[in-house]
Structure 1
Amino acid sequence: MKITAQAAERHVLAITVDNEAGILAKIAGLFTARGYNIDSLTVADISTDHAVSRITIVTNGPPAVIDQIHAQLERLVPVHKVVDLTEAGPHVERELALVKVAGTGEKRVEALRLADIFRAKPVDTTTESFIFEITGAPEKIDSFVGLMRELGLVEVGRTGIVGMMRGAEGA
């Protein structure tokens, strides 16, 4: 009998947790201890009384590994809910980045032209540089950063991915 390895798939997990000290370390430790990689991680307080947070994690793995991650996360006491947005259906993903580009002359003009095409907004400018704010799908940001490399990219800061299910229901 031939055993074939399952292909790794990208998954976006939305985890609702009690907002308590150490929960992020517990979740990150769960991934680390089992050799799972976290590609992106964001955390936001989502309740008016600051008691609940939402953690969004992007990870890769074959379906069996993703199922195991999901089950282990649900066993953690401060975890209320784990939703695999990738499996649950249509969802929206966005990321924010700040991109610093230095240049003069034609490179400066081209950086502004490309920023306009990508709907990146200059949030800081000097005579030698710009800092652009760009939001969108990770692929859009990757493309913008790739083009800015040729025009004098200095620095990039990215927030990580956040995601939500489409429609009226919450994750």
Structure 2
Amino acid sequence: MKNTISILVENKPGVLARIAAMFSARNYNIDSLSVAETVDPTISRVTVTAVGDNLEIEQVMKQLRKLIDVIRVVNFTTVNGDFITREMVLIKVSAKERNRAEIMRTADIFRAKIVDTSRESLTLEVTGDEKKIDAILELLKPFGILEIARTGQVALSR
């Protein structure tokens, strides 16, 4: 099961490296990772998504809580889904003249922004939950996706 873990940490050098090393030492793969300051510039929020069963993720959370500079650890996945997630993706898609209108209609349906154009491609910015992003990627595949850059999930409790 995919888990979304929110970790509040002291905003200091080396904290992220210790978190990543803890996952690596236990042979857990990080599916996505996002880090930024909170409203308090001395604290950062690290959002990690990782696949594991309840027991494995509980072990990870116990180990995270032991790390220096970790303030709080919450697995949003186990709090009855009462959280909001978003991620952003930039998608560069091949856009020959004959396909541009259809790509632009698809972008409109998903409320995507066209952030760059060239003779050969369109670059779209899409924000939403993982299902929305996966859906637009699937619809754009037949046109030829040239590049993708995903931010990884960010999450907050409601």
TM-score per shorter chain, which class? over 0.9
Q: Which residue of the other structure, out of 31, 49, 62, is the alignment partner of 1:58?
A: 49
Secondary structure (helix, strand or coil) at the match of 1:150 reads helix
For 2:100 and 2:140, the matched residues in 1 are separated by: 10
Deviation at 1:108, TM superposition (A): 1.4
TM-superposition CA deviations, 1:4-45 (whole Å, max 9, x none):
xxxxx2111000001111111100000000011111100011
1:12 maps to 2:12? no
For 1:137 and 1:103, the matched residues in 2 are separated by: 25
AA at the equivalent of 1:74: R
Deviation at 1:113, TM superposition (A): 0.9
* Equivalent residue, structure 2, for 1:83: 74
Deviation at 1:126, TM superposition (A): 2.1
Gaps spanning 5+ residues in structure 2: where? Answer: none
Gaps spanning 5+ residues in structure 1: where? Answer: 1-8, 167-171
* Equivalent residue, structure 1, for 2:90: 98
1:126 maps to 2:118? yes
For 1:31 and 1:104, the matched residues in 2 are separated by: 43
1:149 maps to 2:141? yes
Q: Is the 8 A contact 1:108 1:151 kept in 2?
A: no
Q: 1:34-73 to 2 correspondence within 5 Å?
A: 34-48=26-40, 50-73=41-64
* Equivalent residue, structure 2, for 1:5: none
Q: Is the 8 A contact 1:37 1:59 kept in 2?
A: yes
For 2:59 and 2:36, the matched residues in 1 are separated by: 24
For 1:45 and 1:106, the matched residues in 2 are separated by: 44
AA at the equivalent of 2:152: G
Paired-residue identity, %: 42
Question: Which runs of at least 4 in structure 1 moved beyond 4 Å after TM superposition?
Answer: none
Bigger CA radius of gyration: 1
For 2:119 and 2:26, the matched residues in 1 are separated by: 49
